[in-house]
Amino acid sequence: MSGIWISSEEVAGVGMDIARMRGESLVRLVWRGEKAHISAYLPSLIDLVEKEKPSAVIFPSQVDLNDLAAGLASALNCPFISGCIKVAADETGLEAQRHIYGGAAVQVVRSDAWPVVLTLVGGERVELEGVEIKEVFPVSQTAVKVLERKVKESANRPITEAKVVISIGRGFKRREDIVLVKDLAARLSGEIGCTRPIASELHWLPESVCIGLSGVQVSPDLYLALGISGQVQHVVGIRGARVIVAVNQDEKAPIFGVADFGIVGDLYNFIPLFLEALKGTR
Amino acid sequence: MLHIIACCKWVIDEVYIKRGRGEEIDFSSVDWKISDYDRHALEEAVRIKDSLGGKVTVLTVGAENAVKGMKDMLSRGADEGCLIKDESFARLDPAVTADIIAHAVKSRLSPYDLIFFGDGSSDLYARQVGPRVAAKLGISCLTGVRKIAFKDGYVEAERSLEREIEIVQAPLPVAITVLPEINTPRIPGVKDTLLASRKPVLNLSSCDFPDYTVPAVRTVAIKAVRLDRGCVFFENNAGGISSLVEELKKKGILS
Ligand SMILES: Cc1cc2nc3c(=O)[nH]c(=O)nc-3n(C[C@H](O)[C@H](O)[C@H](O)COP(=O)(O)OP(=O)(O)OC[C@H]3O[C@@H](n4cnc5c(N)ncnc54)[C@H](O)[C@@H]3O)c2cc1C
């Protein structure tokens, strides 16, 4: 058994660590062929893994790749740890951390059997040179047929790199009111983020700026939460923020339990006052 | 006549997860609920039954208190229940849960046309059970689904991927994991709750299943996450907000 296989460079960081610890080499998978439904890749991936017996196969935690990982682990009857936020290999196996209870707790799990399948949340991207490559080809026939693909609307700049994030929740009453936040974002050179309902239910902002467990994790210098209740699934995505400011009219809103500074009040009153107060600043 | 199975997990409501001493979790005052996304899975199953005809079986795997969960599930429009309950099923690895569900479906609930799951559970959010059950049953699995339609005996589904919406078509039987935007779950009324206790339930326990190999993944610790930053409050008026701005300057965020 040998080789640590990674499905892309997005997870190369952890792949390299495990490979180093086990004295094995890193192998990068290359996905060939026309894009079909993800199930098209499973048969050849299983064949390849059964033949070459890697110690680990690592994917980024994405919808399609999670399917592939689950299908692979099921076929191999091997451990699969999904949604890892941290992984460390040691002499006998590996230990991984993952969020549970919506992010209120961290579960530490161990696997002492190889091979193991992993998916990683926010893995560390490393550009690789001269690494061995294995090609995976799709089968031509699958039960699931793709009829259409539409590119999702996404933010122009990645919110993950923003220094200031102004984030909106269901405390906003109308879609038009987002203009108010745009002024604020422009003034603070920040990006606009949101909670899941704003993106996935109301479609007021693209899903690429939904922050939290099922969205992205951000770590700006300033996170300004406007009309956000602060359910744990959201706040798990802002833990890395340096300063969190929350505005909510409900003094019992959980967001205050995770904020550095809080204002109990109406966000519609807050925004103009805040803009005014910013006038003397750079 | 469609036979639709909806799989629901009875979980600790994460709102009650409190940090005890050190990194420990204080489980003393927790309440339980149907896992959020699973409520949407059950709702979708019931809506399809209502429009196309058929039967909905709601299935859950859990420990003793899953009995209460089953009642709640049956009050949300399912016709029958399948309650797989055992003390040893309290904290199962998703791989074992999937083996149990697949075995129950194959041996007790066949034939079936659709199996619904939430895209991830509110407690573990491992997103494994749906695709693993499908793999065990040898059927297709559509994950991340936010819309479903039926055409000429096929399911047409909208899958929400990271950067794309993928519209796919799959033959029955098929496993589907749903996102919460697919529907708004009903809130059961008093009558629904009363009716629920009269619905038939198939009770299964560990002796109805083969011994599954002990999962190689072990939980070694569960640690509460520290979130509290000791919030300092300001008034929502010009004075309060200029003090806030001063604080942000002190932190080097504004200058
Ligand atoms: C498995 C799972 C994964 C999830 N993943 C995510 C995720 O990644 N990201 C995410 O965000 N959510 C996620 N959620 C959903 C999450 O649990 C919450 O439902 C969501 O974050 C709530 O969004 P919200 O704060 O905008 O809305 P609400 O909870 O409705 O809060 C609105 C807040 O606005 C306040 N408000 C109303 N009017 C005003 C006003 N005029 N001025 C000031 N305040 C006002 C209210 O007091 C309230 O606190 C997930 C849920 C589950 C079960």
Could you report the per-residue pLDDT of A43-97, keeping only the tens digit for each? 999 999 999 999 999 999 999 999 999 999 999 999 999 999 999 999 899 999 9
pLDDT at B70: 98
**Domain membership flag for residue B234:** yes
- The structural domain count of chain B equals 2
| pLDDT tens digits, one per residue of B75-132 | 999 999 999 999 999 889 999 999 999 999 999 999 999 999 999 999 999 999 999 9
Q: What backbone torsions phi and psi does residue A44 show, to the nearest 5 degrees?
A: -75, -30
CB neighbour list of residue A201: distance below 8 Å, 6 or more residues apart: B180, B181
pLDDT at A1: 65
pLDDT at A281: 82
How far apart CA A68 and CA A65 sit, in angstroms, is 5
Residue nearest atom 48 of ligand 1, based on CA coordinates: A229
Say if ligand 1 is within 6 A of residue B121 CB. no
Domains identified in chain A and CATH numbers: 4-136 (3.40.50.620), 159-278 (3.40.50.1220)
Tell me how close the Cα of A32 comes to any Cα of chain B, in angstroms.
Answer: 19
Question: Residues B158, B101: one domain?
Answer: yes
How far apart CA B66 and CA B57 sit, in angstroms, is 16
Question: Residues B180, B94: one domain?
Answer: yes
**Domain membership flag for residue B39:** yes
Question: Residues B176, B249: one domain?
Answer: no
For residues B82 and B104, is the Cβ–Cβ distance under 8 A? yes
Q: Which residues of A touch B170 (CB under 8 A)?
A: 143-145
Question: Residues B188, B65: one domain?
Answer: yes
**Domain membership flag for residue B157:** yes
Question: Residues B195, B116: one domain?
Answer: yes
DSSP labels, B116-168: EEESS-SSS----HHHHHHHHHT-EEEEEEEEEEEETTEEEEEEE-SSEEEEE
Question: Residues B149, B187: one domain?
Answer: yes
Region A15-21: mean pLDDT is 96
How far apart CA A157 and CA B152 sit, in angstroms, is 42
Contact A108 B222 (CB under 8 A): yes
Window B:49-78, CB contacts with A under 8 Å? none
Is the predicted pLDDT of residue B216 greater than 80, yes or no?
Answer: no
Among A52, A60, A54, smallest CA distance to A118 is for: A60
**Domain membership flag for residue B190:** yes
Is the predicted pLDDT of residue A218 greater than 70, yes or no?
Answer: yes
Q: Is B249 exposed, middle or buried (0-12, 13-18, 19+ CB in 10 A)?
A: middle
Token pair belonging to B135: 């793999």
The range of the structural domain enclosing residue B247 comes to 228-255
Q: What backbone torsions phi and psi does residue A9 show, to the nearest 5 degrees?
A: -70, -15
Say if ligand 1 is within 6 A of residue A248 CB. yes
Q: Using most ligand atoms within 8 A of CB, pick from B17, B33, B35, B36 the residue to mutate for ligand 1.
A: B36
Judged by a CB distance cut-off of 8 A, whether residue A240 touches chain B is no
Judged by a CB distance cut-off of 8 A, whether residue A161 touches chain B is no
How far apart CA A64 and CA A152 sit, in angstroms, is 15
Judged by a CB distance cut-off of 8 A, whether residue B181 touches chain A is yes
Window B:86-115, CB contacts with A under 8 Å? 94-95, 98
From the alpha carbon of B121, which atom of ligand 1 is closest?
1
Q: How many residues does chain B have?
A: 255
CB neighbour list of residue B21: distance below 8 Å, 6 or more residues apart: none
Question: Residues B143, B97: one domain?
Answer: yes
Judged by a CB distance cut-off of 8 A, whether residue A110 touches chain B is yes
pLDDT at B27: 84
Question: Residues B37, B106: one domain?
Answer: yes
**Confidence band for B199, pLDDT divided at 50, 70 and 90:** very high
How many A-B residue pairs are in contact by the CB < 8 A criterion? 243
Contact A37 B168 (CB under 8 A): yes
**Confidence band for A154, pLDDT divided at 50, 70 and 90:** confident
Say if ligand 1 is within 6 A of residue A197 CB. yes
**Domain membership flag for residue B81:** yes
Question: Residues B79, B145: one domain?
Answer: yes
Distance A233 CA to ligand 1 centre (A): 9
Helix (H, G, I), strand (E, B) or coil at A117: strand
How far apart CA B144 and CA A53 sit, in angstroms, is 30
Nearest CA in chain B to A148: B167
The helix/strand count (H/E) of chain A reads as: 7, 14
CB neighbour list of residue B51: distance below 8 Å, 6 or more residues apart: none
Q: How many CB atoms lie within 10 A of CB B252?
A: 10
For residues A149 and B167, is the Cβ–Cβ distance under 8 A? yes
pLDDT at B212: 79
CATH number at residue B124: 3.40.50.620
Residue nearest atom 26 of ligand 1, based on CA coordinates: A169
Judging by DSSP bridges, how do beta strands A116-120 and A164-168 pair with one another?
A: unpaired
Distance A232 CA to ligand 1 centre (A): 9
- When scoring B122, B145, B159 by the number of chain A Cβ atoms within 10 A, the one with the most, hence best to mutate, is B159
Say if ligand 1 is within 6 A of residue A134 CB. no
| pLDDT tens digits, one per residue of A229-255 | 999 999 999 999 999 999 999 999 999
Proportion of chain B above pLDDT 90, given as a percent:
87
**Domain membership flag for residue B78:** yes
- The helix or strand, by DSSP H or E, that contains position A270, with its residue range, turns out to be helix A267-277
Token pair belonging to B136: 């065990």
- The interface pTM score, or ipTM, of the predicted complex is 0.93
pLDDT at B215: 64
Distance A230 CA to ligand 1 centre (A): 6
Tell me how close the Cα of A73 comes to any Cα of chain B, in angstroms.
Answer: 8
How far is residue B225 CA from its own chain's centroid? 22
Question: Residues B83, B130: one domain?
Answer: yes
**Domain membership flag for residue B113:** yes
| pLDDT tens digits, one per residue of B5-32 | 999 999 999 998 887 778 888 888 899 9
Query: Taking the CA of residue A66 as centre, how many other CA atoms within 13 Å lie in the half-sphere pointing to its CB?
Result: 25
Question: Residues B90, B161: one domain?
Answer: yes
pLDDT at B153: 86
Q: Which segments within chain B are labelled E, that is strand?
A: 2-7, 10-12, 18-19, 25-26, 32-34, 54-62, 80-85, 114-118, 140-151, 154-160, 164-171, 174-178, 201-204, 217-224, 232-234
**Domain membership flag for residue B136:** yes
DSSP3 helix / strand / coil % (chain B, rounded to 5): 30, 35, 35
Q: Which residues of A touch B166 (CB under 8 A)?
A: 37, 146, 148-149
Q: Which residues of B touch A242 (CB under 8 A)?
A: 251, 253
pLDDT at A280: 80
pLDDT at B208: 94
CB-nearest partner of B233 from A100, A142, A262: A262
Residues facing residue B155 across a β-bridge = B150, B170
Question: Residues B176, B251: one domain?
Answer: no
* CA-to-CA dists, residue A75 to A28, A71, A262, B120, angstroms: 21, 6, 51, 21
The residue whose two tokens read 């994030």 is A165
Judged by a CB distance cut-off of 8 A, whether residue B122 touches chain A is yes
